[in-house]
Structure 1
Amino acid sequence: MSRLHSAVGLATAVLLGGALLPSALAEPAESSPIDYSLRVNAGGETTSIPDTMHGVFFEDINDAADGGIYAELVRNRSFEYDTVDNPSYTPMTGWSTTSVGGAEGSAEVIDDAQRLNENNRRYLRLRPNAHGRAAYGVTNAGYHSGMSLERGEKYDFSIWARSDQPGGTPLTVTATDGSGSPVGRTMRIRVRGDQWTEYTKTFVAHSDTDTGGLRVLGHGSGTLRLDMVSLFPRDTFKGEPNGLREDLARKIEALNPGFLRFPGGCLVNTGSHESYQAPDWERRRSYQWKDTVGPVEQRPTNANFWGYNQSYGLGFYEYFRFAENIGAMPLPVVPALVTGCGENEATHDPQLLRRHIQDTLDLIQFANGSVDTEWGAKRAAMGHPEPFGLTHLAVGNEENLPEDFYEHFEKFRDAIEQRYPGITVVANSGPDDSGAVFDRAWELAREQDAEMVDEHYYNNPQWFLENNRRYDSYDRSGPKVSLTEYASEGNRFYNALVEASFMTGLERNADVVRMSSYAPLLAHEDDPQWTPDMIWFDNHRSWGSASYEVQKLFGNNVGDEVVPSEASSTPVEEKPISGAVGLSTWNTSAAYDDVRVTSADGETLLADDFSGDASKWSGLTGTGDWSIQDGAYVQSDASVQNTMVTAGDKSWSDYDLHLTATKRAGSEGFLVAFGVEGTDDYYWWNLGGWNNTRSAVQKTTAGSSQTVLSKDTTIETGREYDIRVEVRGRKVTLFLDGEKWGSFTDEQNAEPFRQVVTRDEKTGELIVKVVNAQDNRARTRLDIDGAPRLANTARLTTLQGDPQAVNTAESRPIKPEKSVIRGVDENFSHTFPANSITVMRIRTQGN
């Protein structure tokens, strides 16, 4: 997961100027149908599809683990929250003191030699002064709005406690609703002895609440020490102890995923790579698997990269069990000691590197070793003597330093291949779909004969329509691709449509693309750090987005082999890049001067040396502090983003834009725009972007941008740069200080009609998947050659609707519809609805 965000684009599609451009204003309407043809060569050469074609990627982002799929209801159960996790946290976050019957007392979180263990350092020291019916203690409010408790369901309570009283100290524990009224019987415990002991109880809820809490009260006097206060629903997924929330796990299982990648993401390659050390417990560490196994009360907590605490209650053992329970191949990710996600540092400590390599070897032993091995025995002690059957392991995640990463990757892979030659070690290509890092990473992957390279990208809808054939040209003899993070920027049905279109290309290239997964997987509605997301939830409900419905449709209709097919394309009208010009900054102050725009035949369209006023320019975004200073147009505010001002005419095409620019202060460089058609539709040359680490040309459509061209160019403060942009038709050439910087031709066709055909070997069915991502119906003639006799009926599953529709907790406008069509033959016609995804399953003779 990359931390780079771009605006989320909307929704419906209109045919315009050689491309399908999203338009928030377009009303979905079924206009005249467009005629297509779809030819299937059922007797042609096929390509096998791996079981891992479509899978899931889990990262603890958006409260996906604690407060999410991990079923624990108590927040901060071990009193380990701290400002290092979040500036608003304290050790008592989630807790409040509670007095009943006028009792007095004190509740204080302590870190001293009386602690539960060295990893779980803090505990609650409770000193009640409560006699008779009085009691004093604490109440936990759970996550967000409160605990969700359901009438008739069982809940398991546990606590570690000790008392300094000779006869012990009574505890009463009650689950309550938002008003403090009990929703289950009060559980009574007598804490005996001044040694840590675990106490457990179970109750049945007698009423429903979504704002519940857990009240833990001490009676009498003396000192109680409490830790690891836990409340779990008995009904976890597959009945697993320390298990997962049933509804969320079931939704993931319903995707029929071929693999489960875990635990991240930016969790893996950020923070310190040192071991967990109790005296230094406040340091944020990268996610290291050994911290997350063994008895839950002995696992440390950690500061999550996404700004909150993670308990490690959901650890590597639980991930392996989840993968096993849903029939998915486990794909763990380990740190490569090269940070990413904006940190971009490499660790050059050979001893630390050797330790992490050994940890990775130990992980494979934990997953696959016999009970006679050290780590296989630890797995067995946790309840799983049989091996998990690990076959793939990923090293690193989105590293932006390819030289350092591949230096480390080679050492990891060599050690793994020597000890465990059957394990596929997955490398990666950084955080983007293209650019200097991407290109160099792939070059190094080929030099090192990497078996598989992980790609990640989040792009606008247009990109997904334009890149359906991205993998057609990949080297069939080179490393295979695992695409384990991708999404279109938005959660509308239109985003799901373009993702489905792209997925047909993934399946058609199944000989190269061996794994793919949408990301992120889960998001709590009350605390998303990232959007879009596949499955949304609150404390008691969950719902799948439109993208979830697409992933489920494809995951359950993959097929075993790709059958050759070809579809006609949509006619389009070619149109040159056209639009006004613009100047902008991003967290930077810059001065622009001597702006000149001339047509291809030399006519001056715009000339401004800023010796007068700035009347030729208007603020497109309405931000920034623009003024004329010393004969230049200066944006002075270095704290605002996208300050674009524009000049000229939207009809301009075939022109040269020439200017000078000087960075005065701030973290980035210059943004020089061309082809500006409006606030949400333009190109710009981003010089010194991404905190002045690289430069790129970006194309923004409906407010969502994609990178067209990228280089490592950075910008110096105080230096004047000569900038020229030459636009000819759909080709753009860029010059920096008189030297050609790069060029591109924007001729990608955003084809709305895409298909893939596969075969289910078990049923003998041909599976025809067709995506029609436009407002026009697709009247299609299907010709199926080389197949045994076809059944005259076909089963259809269709997703269709308003491209701007969004699935929510209250409404699910995008859901599958099943039907049967008749008249199927070697040659027949079918009209695919506007804005639809259709899976057509056709039986062949003898099946």
Structure 2
Amino acid sequence: MKSNLILKVIKCFTFCMFWALGVVTYADNKCLTIQRIERNSTVPETLYGVFFEDINFAADGGLYAELIKNRSFEFDDPFMGWKISGNVSVRSDGPFKSNPHYVRLLPANNKWRRTSLQNEGFCGIGLKKDSLYHFSVWARSLSEESQNLLIELGESDADTWGQVVASAQCEVSSSEWEKYSVTLIPNRTCEHAFLRIFHQGKGGVDLEHVSLFPEDVWKHRKNGMRRDLVEALAELKPGVFRFPGGCIVEGTDLTTRYQWKRTLGPVEDRPVMENRWHFTFQHRYYPDYYQSHGIGFYEFFQLSEDLEAEPLPVLNAGLICQYMAEDISQHAPLDSLQSYIQDALDLIEFANGDTLTYWGKKRAELGHPLPFRLKYLGIGNEQWGPEYVERLSLFVKSIREKYPDIIIIGSSGPKPDGADFDFLWKKMNELKVDCVDEHFYKDEEWFASQADRYDNYNRNGAKVFAGEYACHCRLDERNRFDAALLEAAFMTGIDRNSDIVSMATYAPLFAHYKAWQWRPDLIWFDNLDVVRSASFYVQKLFSCYKGTERLDITVEGLPLVGGLGQDSLYASAVWDAHRNAYILKLVNLSRNDQCLSIAESGIGKELCDRGEVIEFGTTCDSIDNRRDNNMLVVPKSYPIKVGSLHTLPLSVKSRSLSIYILYRKGK
């Protein structure tokens, strides 16, 4: 892994110089030799996927379609997210064991006052005109008489006489806890609406688990997900779906680590927990960021199935976030690790066990009698050091004994190189884990110089999972086209090395425009709309055109990796049996259009009867799609005429990604 260090330094220096000058020397037409590979050429179905973590309000306030914040009054401040008036109090002997808090509403004892609750949602509540919204609440009357509630949706800054855009009456008729529902239909679209509940009865009423869902959710499921966000994921055609993190797997202490068993069952009784991202960055501080676990492990498995992606859950390894740990005693002791290991074994049974097993029966009771066919399991997020290795070894031993076919994924830590990285790779191979999770959030020069990163990796050890990566531009860590293009250059190296790299997922996945902690991100959204970044389109193009068989593609015997004399060109090639087509991905980081051809040897004599070119580029490096124009940077395609491949001229515009799909004649 260190053998190419000097070459990489030279490449990095060269790229820095060209980048600063904004020019490169134009070169002669390059001739690509493209050949079949005799062994280990199959492209993994899992090569490109998605990684979900609840950061940037990705779950509550994002993918999870619930519109009410702190719906069970379980935040540290029970009224966070709520405005109250009149006679409202919090009590803690409610019907749900894990979420015992509820509110009691009594008359205001003044005819001019009103007892009410008002919820702000997540940076407001997004409402669409004439759409259906389902309000529900668990409630009981404090007397034998029914109590009336007025449910309103309103808009505080509305330029109209009244704030209300929808309203309905809800009658609480029982003195026992029951669930009540009404449907509201807004008369206009609002991005920052609120929910308000007026108590109109003469007696008291208790309310718990106040909820509001749009009718229009993914697959019309109860407790559903935002349809537009899931549709964006489906567009990527991911081969693998990693969840639930990320750093939230670790927690800031052992009590706040992610525990999958607590995310099953009725949503009313899934315990609410702080999100470790609400206080991580002082400059992006969100004390109202919690996890309702409305999307739990059952929903994650279900979503994986919807996306036709392999589920890849990640479990805590008995370590809290090591960046936050001040002492080894904060981690789970080795002699107390059995419950963590048992959680892993139980998860495999939950996903794969038949309905006669304890956890397989639980899955069936939730509505999925057939197994989820789990193949992959990550142990630990980006842990490091001997404390990780000694804990991981116990997991590996137990999982191998009971479930030898499970593909175990270990960690190489939070950095892409260095002493800790090398130590962990050595230990992962000694433990015989199947795959090692690498993370890299690096700058422009790093991505430009890493297309050959995996060319010389050991093919006899563990595979690579590039589990978290994104180009972070030094001067402006936000989504930009040039960052996406650099990611594409790097990903040609993943294409060429898919015999050793079995999975890759960009991170983070989602970000709310009004409530983010980290950027860049793949998909941005607000309360009404979704915006696909330039990086999204790079991921989509590489995933949708990953092919089925990797091919060897060289110029003068060397891969195109942006090296010396290669004029900032990068390339990969695959055969796609489903399309009966050759697919070439060409990235040009230079400021000049470049021309290439295909050598007569290899596939050059093949006849193709038609072709297509997809171009992804722009004249401005720093732009990206945005809310007021979500089509600023999008791929464009057009047909081309093709005969013998060696006679086909190839062109790659400056600062662009071009994908050639060349359909072979006949079958």
Normalised to the residue count of structure 2, the TM-score between the two structures is: 0.90
8 A contact 2:560–2:569 mirrored in 1: no
Distance 2:20 2:135 in 1: 50
> Counterpart of 1:38?
32
8 A contact 2:46–2:238 mirrored in 1: yes
Distance of aligned partners of 1:399 and 1:572 in 2 relative to their CA distance in 1, 3 Å threshold? closer
Residue 417 (structure 1) shift: 1.9
Q: Per-residue displacement from partner, 1:192-245 (whole Å, max 9, x unpaired)? A: 11x322112223333211121111111223332211100001111122221111
Consecutive aligned runs of 4 or more in structure 1 exceeding 4 Å deviation: 20-26, 29-34, 42-46, 130-135, 568-573, 747-751
Percent identity between the aligned chains?
36
Q: After superposition, where does 1:111-510 map in structure 2 within 5 Å?
A: 111=92, 114-129=93-108, 135-144=114-123, 146-178=124-156, 179=158, 181-193=163-175, 195-274=176-255, 285-307=256-278, 308-344=289-325, 346=328, 347-350=331-334, 352-401=336-385, 403-490=386-473, 491-510=479-498
Q: Per-residue displacement from partner, 1:658-682 (whole Å, max 9, x unpaired)? A: xxxxxxxxxxxxxxxxxxxxxxxxx
Is residue 2:630 matched to residue 1:814? no
SS state at 1:340 partner: coil
> Counterpart of 1:776?
592
Residue 472 (structure 1) shift: 0.8
SS state at 1:769 partner: strand
Point out the more displaced range, 340-349 or 389-398. Answer: 340-349
> Counterpart of 1:838?
658
Where does the alignment leave 5 or more consecutive residues of structure 1 unmatched?
A: 1-14, 83-89, 99-104, 275-284, 574-746
Residue 133 (structure 1) shift: 10
Is residue 2:70 matched to residue 1:76? yes
> Counterpart of 1:803?
621
8 A contact 1:44–1:563 mirrored in 2: no
Residue 125 (structure 1) shift: 1.9
SS state at 1:527 partner: coil
Residue 329 (structure 1) shift: 0.6
8 A contact 1:130–1:220 mirrored in 2: no
Is residue 2:47 matched to residue 1:53? yes
Distance 1:177 1:53 in 2: 45
Choose which of 83, 86, 106 in structure 2 pairs with 1:96.
83
Distance 2:71 2:98 in 1: 14
> Counterpart of 1:557?
545
8 A contact 1:785–1:826 mirrored in 2: no
Residue 359 (structure 1) shift: 1.3
> Counterpart of 1:767?
583
Equivalent residue letter for 1:437: D
Choose which of 532, 535, 543 in structure 2 pairs with 1:544.
532
Residue 572 (structure 1) shift: 13
8 A contact 1:19–1:572 mirrored in 2: no
Residue 162 (structure 1) shift: 1.7
Equivalent residue letter for 2:165: V
Equivalent residue letter for 1:266: C
Residue 360 (structure 1) shift: 1.3
Distance of aligned partners of 1:43 and 1:323 in 2 relative to their CA distance in 1, 3 Å threshold? closer
Equivalent residue letter for 1:794: G
8 A contact 2:142–2:205 mirrored in 1: yes
> Counterpart of 2:6?
none
Equivalent residue letter for 1:537: F
Q: Per-residue displacement from partner, 1:734-790 (whole Å, max 9, x unpaired)? A: xxxxxxxxxxxxx99996211111011122200111111121111112225344742
Distance 2:115 2:494 in 1: 60
In our comparison, the structure showing a higher alpha carbon Rg is 1
Residue 248 (structure 1) shift: 1.0
Distance 2:215 2:434 in 1: 43
8 A contact 1:760–1:766 mirrored in 2: yes
SS state at 2:130 partner: coil
Q: After superposition, where does 1:429-828 map in structure 2 within 5 Å?
A: 429-490=412-473, 491-567=479-555, 752-783=568-599, 785-787=601-603, 789-801=606-618, 802-811=620-629, 812-827=631-646, 828=648
SS state at 2:593 partner: strand
Equivalent residue letter for 1:267: I
Distance 2:657 2:180 in 1: 53
Distance 2:591 2:356 in 1: 63
Q: Per-residue displacement from partner, 1:52-74 (whole Å, max 9, x unpaired)? A: 00000000011111111110011
Distance of aligned partners of 1:817 and 1:222 in 2 relative to their CA distance in 1, 3 Å threshold? same
Residue 131 (structure 1) shift: 8.9
8 A contact 1:269–1:338 mirrored in 2: yes
Residue 184 (structure 1) shift: 2.5
Distance 1:131 1:161 in 2: 24
SS state at 2:542 partner: helix
Say which structure is richer in helix: 2
Equivalent residue letter for 1:448: L
> Counterpart of 1:692?
none
8 A contact 1:39–1:783 mirrored in 2: yes
Residue 429 (structure 1) shift: 0.6
Q: Give the aligned length.
A: 630
SS state at 1:775 partner: coil
Where does the alignment leave 5 or more consecutive residues of structure 2 unmatched?
A: 1-10, 279-288, 474-478
Residue 167 (structure 1) shift: 1.2
Equivalent residue letter for 1:149: L
Equivalent residue letter for 1:779: C
SS state at 2:75 partner: coil
Distance 1:846 1:342 in 2: 57
8 A contact 1:270–1:341 mirrored in 2: no
Distance of aligned partners of 1:350 and 1:404 in 2 relative to their CA distance in 1, 3 Å threshold? closer
Distance 2:37 2:395 in 1: 44
Residue 805 (structure 1) shift: 2.0
8 A contact 2:550–2:574 mirrored in 1: yes
Distance 1:448 1:570 in 2: 33
8 A contact 1:56–1:259 mirrored in 2: yes
Is residue 2:77 matched to residue 1:66? no
SS state at 1:129 partner: coil
> Counterpart of 2:281?
none
Q: Per-residue displacement from partner, 1:421-463 (whole Å, max 9, x unpaired)? A: 2211111110000111111111111111111111111111111
8 A contact 1:20–1:750 mirrored in 2: no
> Counterpart of 2:4?
none
Normalised to the residue count of structure 1, the TM-score between the two structures is: 0.71
SS state at 2:197 partner: strand
Distance of aligned partners of 1:466 and 1:748 in 2 relative to their CA distance in 1, 3 Å threshold? farther
